[in-house]
């Protein structure tokens, strides 16, 4: 009998799957009953058995015996590894205090228990915790400014819509089921992006703007909608705070300036504004472009557009259906939490504020920007690093102890989605190697002599309790493999209780009440974009599928100016680093922009784009990452 599984990747779709283990082989297929993921898997999901059976999965704990970054480890027993970690943890807390310990985890595996359960131990120990900023933070803050929440439309409500705009998102690669859903519902699709992506090629209209001009494009559209009186008057009067002030603000905006900066002809901007108003469009706001210094302002401006045409929550960005705080156990703390901004990990290590780093579900030594800095910081510090992972990742190579993790096919869990409203069940299919995050947590708690019962709850107990707390049926979940979380009526949790075109929350943070455009330029002439590749999810699958694209993509005119031809080896450089790769010339990338796909394994490739990317953060927007505010130059390699 097949078991219900969930693809736990950091992916919008959170596919429900049916999995079997027969004759020593795992097989997976999509669960045909799931209303969104509808029985098919993307190419990454279809290859999951290859990932699962990959021969280089870690099987035994390792202790580093060489330099950080070397591949010199020796195998030890689980007992020994757990005791080493527990002793070091105890010593560190005694000598430097509990806040010198940081647990660093992210969305490498989105199982609710697997993600959250280890945090119980670290909350119990009152350690420092991460303040997440790597992915969608600036946009989260911006949407809270306007709507009081980053949770927008239920994608199943797209069936009532006529037009969806993919703004800075490439769902054909990263949200395939969402892309297909819009097609199934017969929506017209438009794309706004700097690069002609695969989604742009398949959209009815494509608006190609210059980098970091999203704010101006959105404000220009708003101006046209308002000044041509195409907005929903009654809706605005009742539900929007600061409309008149915003109207006066955009009145001062010159459309010629918008044309000049965005690179779009006026006619195109008008086409967008008039078509969007007529069809009452909704917008899928992407994560990529908000990872830039202007990202927060951009999302704030874009977020206003669906409200102008009368949508209460007319955007897709995040989805929160269930409360998972029980799994995380912050209630176990006895001291207030110190949060360390995720994007400032290197800085905190350099300052000596972190002495013990426990990493799981994440590969920061491939995914963080400015890799030279974080690597140097780790090499020069005395921080003790533990990594719990399925593979010997770049991060594992910099660790003192490496623990083998198991996969989601080997443990029970549930997963919610940040796109749709379904929670899916994950049943263990087989057990091969490694231990889950919760198993390791229990072992560590025992080795530390902690008796608190919350640290010993079984995975199933945690799952059932979360379902109960959220009013969801365990029996229904077990029968179908997924369960829809009903939507409750909601209002806008802003200071005014309305949609805020004039954001009081932004003002409190010292920002303008309205989204502002600021010209961004770097020391180098070319803007480097580092989006995700089709066959990887950040650094995941590079090692197992081996399908990466390490080429630099460049506009032919920029190449010609530098005497570069298609297929040449080139150096891409800035003050942070330098990498050598092969160039491919394409008109899909506009002038002034170059593109490298992100976060491949440095251990396998010898480099990745994060040797170049900026580690500044988006000020005023929660220290969100600014990967795409990176400038470089390119020259022919010698």
Binding interface with ligand SF4 (CB under 6 A): 7, 9, 11, 13-15, 41-42, 44-45, 176
Q: Which is nearer to ligand SF4, 37 or 623 (CB)?
A: 37
The Cα 281–Cα 153 span in angstroms is: 12
> Any idea which residue has 């942070």 for tokens?
576
The Cα 198–Cα 179 span in angstroms is: 11
Smallest distance from the beta carbon of 109 to ligand SF4, in angstroms? 12
Closest-CA residue to 354 (of 101, 84, 182): 101
Report the Cα 470 to chain-centroid distance in Å: 25
> Any idea which residue has 């079997």 for tokens?
20
The Cα 361–Cα 359 span in angstroms is: 7
Smallest distance from the beta carbon of 33 to ligand SF4, in angstroms? 15
Q: Which is nearer to ligand SF4, 19 or 406 (CB)?
A: 19
Phi/psi zone of residue 410: left (φ > 0), alpha (ψ -120 to 50 degrees), beta? alpha
Q: Which is nearer to ligand SF4, 40 or 573 (CB)?
A: 40
Give me the torsion for CA of 343, 531, 539, 370, rounded to 10°: -40
> For residues 333 and 124, is the Cβ–Cβ distance under 8 A?
yes
Q: Which is nearer to ligand SF4, 536 or 617 (CB)?
A: 536
Instruction: Give the CB-nearest residue to ligand SF4.
Output: 45
Closest-CA residue to 63 (of 507, 387, 434, 516): 387
Three-point CA angle 561, 567, 570, nearest 5°:
60
Smallest distance from the beta carbon of 174 to ligand SF4, in angstroms? 8
Smallest distance from the beta carbon of 408 to ligand SF4, in angstroms? 11
Q: Which is nearer to ligand SF4, 9 or 291 (CB)?
A: 9
Smallest distance from the beta carbon of 48 to ligand SF4, in angstroms? 7
Which two structure tokens, joined as six digits, stand for 381?
């510090």
> For residues 141 and 622, is the Cβ–Cβ distance under 8 A?
yes
Closest-CA residue to 330 (of 119, 154, 150, 20): 119
Q: Which is nearer to ligand SF4, 81 or 107 (CB)?
A: 107
Give me the torsion for CA of 344, 349, 354, 357, rounded to 10°: 80
The Cα 540–Cα 283 span in angstroms is: 28
DSSP state of 168: S
Smallest distance from the beta carbon of 571 to ligand SF4, in angstroms? 33
Helix (H) or strand (E) holding 192: strand 188-193
> Any idea which residue has 């409203």 for tokens?
421
> For residues 437 and 118, is the Cβ–Cβ distance under 8 A?
yes
Smallest distance from the beta carbon of 537 to ligand SF4, in angstroms? 6
Smallest distance from the beta carbon of 536 to ligand SF4, in angstroms? 10
The Cα 534–Cα 543 span in angstroms is: 15
Q: Which is nearer to ligand SF4, 17 or 142 (CB)?
A: 17
Smallest distance from the beta carbon of 198 to ligand SF4, in angstroms? 14
Residue 301, class by beta-carbon neighbours within 10 Å (0-12 exposed, 13-18 middle, 19+ buried)? buried
Residues 6+ apart with CB under 8 A from 475: none
Give me the torsion for CA of 616, 618, 622, 627, rounded to 10°: -60
Smallest distance from the beta carbon of 290 to ligand SF4, in angstroms? 21
> For residues 228 and 274, is the Cβ–Cβ distance under 8 A?
yes
Q: Which is nearer to ligand SF4, 262 or 426 (CB)?
A: 426
Smallest distance from the beta carbon of 55 to ligand SF4, in angstroms? 22
The Cα 43–Cα 45 span in angstroms is: 5
Q: Which is nearer to ligand SF4, 28 or 455 (CB)?
A: 28
Q: Which is nearer to ligand SF4, 14 or 126 (CB)?
A: 14
Q: Which is nearer to ligand SF4, 135 or 293 (CB)?
A: 135
Smallest distance from the beta carbon of 175 to ligand SF4, in angstroms? 8
Q: Which is nearer to ligand SF4, 230 or 547 (CB)?
A: 547
Q: Which is nearer to ligand SF4, 107 or 176 (CB)?
A: 176
Smallest distance from the beta carbon of 7 to ligand SF4, in angstroms? 3
Ramachandran angles phi, psi of 337, nearest 5°:
-85, 135
């Amino acid at each position: 009998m097949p078991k219900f599984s969930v693809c736990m990747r950091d992916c919008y779709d959170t596919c429900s799957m049916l999995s079997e283990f027969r004759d020593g082989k795992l097989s997976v297929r999509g669960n045909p009953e799931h209303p969104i993921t509808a029985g098919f898997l993307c190419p990454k999901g279809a290859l999951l058995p290859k990932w699962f059976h990959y021969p280089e999965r870690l099987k035994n704990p390792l202790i580093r015996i060489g330099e950080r970054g070397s591949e010199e480890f020796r195998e030890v027993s689980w007992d020994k590894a757990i005791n080493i970690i527990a002793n070091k943890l105890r010593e560190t807390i005694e000598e430097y205090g509990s806040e010198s310990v940081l647990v660093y985890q992210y969305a490498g595996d989105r199982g609710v228990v697997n993600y959250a359960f280890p945090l119980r131990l670290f909350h119990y120990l009152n350690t420092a915790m991460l303040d997440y900023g790597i992915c969608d933070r600036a946009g989260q803050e911006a949407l809270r400014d306007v709507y009081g929440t980053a949770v927008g439309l239920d994608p199943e409500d797209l069936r009532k819509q006529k037009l969806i705009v993919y703004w800075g998102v490439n769902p054909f690669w990263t949200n395939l089921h969402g892309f297909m859903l819009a097609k199934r519902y017969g929506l017209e699709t438009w794309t706004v992006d700097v690069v002609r992506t695969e989604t742009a090629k398949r959209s009815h209209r494509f608006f190609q703007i210059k980098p970091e001009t999203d704010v101006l494009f959105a404000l220009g559209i708003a101006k046209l909608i308002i000044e041509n009186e195409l907005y929903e008057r009654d809706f605005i009067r009742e539900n929007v705070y600061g409309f008149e002030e915003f109207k006066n603000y955009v009145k001062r905006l010159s459309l010629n300036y918008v044309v000049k900066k965005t690179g779009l002809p006026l006619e195109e901007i008008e086409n967008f504004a008039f078509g969007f108003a007529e069809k009452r469009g909704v917008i899928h706001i992407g994560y990529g472009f908000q990872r830039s210094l202007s990202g927060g302002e951009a999302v704030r401006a874009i977020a206003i557009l669906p409200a102008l045409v009368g949508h209460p929550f007319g955007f897709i960005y995040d989805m929160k259906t269930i409360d998972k705080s029980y799994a995380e156990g912050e209630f176990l703390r006895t001291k207030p939490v110190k949060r360390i901004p995720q994007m400032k990990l290197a800085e905190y290590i350099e300052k000596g504020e972190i002495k013990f780093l426990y990493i799981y579900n994440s590969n920061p030594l491939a995914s963080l920007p400015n890799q030279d800095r974080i690597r140097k910081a780790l090499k020069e510090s005395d921080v003790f690093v533990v990594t719990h992972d399925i593979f010997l990742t770049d991060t594992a190579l910099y660790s003192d102890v490496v623990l083998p993790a198991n996969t989601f096919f080997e443990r029970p869990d549930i997963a919610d989605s940040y796109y749709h409203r379904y929670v899916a069940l994950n049943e263990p299919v087989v057990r091969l190697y490694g231990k889950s995050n919760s198993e390791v947590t229990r072992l560590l708690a025992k080795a530390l002599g902690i008796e608190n019962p919350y640290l010993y709850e079984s995975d199933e107990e945690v799952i059932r309790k979360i379902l109960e707390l959220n009013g969801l049926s365990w029996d229904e979940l077990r029968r179908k493999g997924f369960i829809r979380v009903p939507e409750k009526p909601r209002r806008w949790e802003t200071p005014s209780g309305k949609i805020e075109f004039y954001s009081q929350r932004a003002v409190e943070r010292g920002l303008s009440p309205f989204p502002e455009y600021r010209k961004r330029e770097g020391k180098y002439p070319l803007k480097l974009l580092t989006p995700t590749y089709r066959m990887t999810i950040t650094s995941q699958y590079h090692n197992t599928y081996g399908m990466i694209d390490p080429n630099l993509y460049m506009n032919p005119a920029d190449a010609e100016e530098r005497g570069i031809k298609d297929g040449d080896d080139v150096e891409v450089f800035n003050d942070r680093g330098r990498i050598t790769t092969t160039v491919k010339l394409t008109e899909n990338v506009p002038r002034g922009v170059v593109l490298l796909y992100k976060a491949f394994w440095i251990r396998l490739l010898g480099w990745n784009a994060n040797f170049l990317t900026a580690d500044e953060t988006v000020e005023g927007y929660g220290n969100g990452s600014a990967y795409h505010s990176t400038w470089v130059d390119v020259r022919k390699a010698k």
